[in-house]
Amino acid sequence: MASDILVVGISGPSSSGKTTLARLLRTAFTPTQGSNINIKTLLVHEDDFYKADDRIPITTTSSGKLVQDWDTVEAFDIKQFVSCLSHPTSDENMEFDKMKELVGDGAFVREDLGIVVAPDKGEGSMSRLLDWAVDLILNKVKEIKEIEK
């Protein structure tokens, strides 16, 4: 039996509540005891996919100082990240055949799900994406709660 997979990405500045929100969502999606709903959640933290300290690229600051550049895409192990998402548990497999990594402009595309996540190009595009995601998640939670009744 094929299962629906919903990937929720949360981004924001340091200490903005990303992990707290992720844990709240995990709790919201956890079926109550005795439920016949089979939902699995997995939290994946981006920080777990940075390369080893000795493999982080070096950059020169405006003052001429050499420092590690943790903000460059080369510091991030994208292949390992995609591999983790491709096999979230031992008995499930997300299909990423149509996933494209457009690292140059920072966009990620899931064509099969009709999802495009890109840097905010103005006009509130990220705000609209967030509104869409929240509505989608809340509707899914409502469906689950109705089935459990």
Give catalytic residues, as residue numbers.
47
| Rounded-to-integer distance, Cα 123 and Cα 143, Å | 32
Strands 66-68, 99-102: pairing kind: unpaired
SS3 87: coil
Give 76's strand partners: 50
Which region holds residue 101: left if phi is over 0, alpha if psi is between -120 and 50, else beta?
beta
Q: Which tokens is 10 given?
A: 């949360």
Rounded to the nearest 5°, which phi and psi values hold at 56?
-80, 130
Q: Which tokens is 58 given?
A: 């070096």
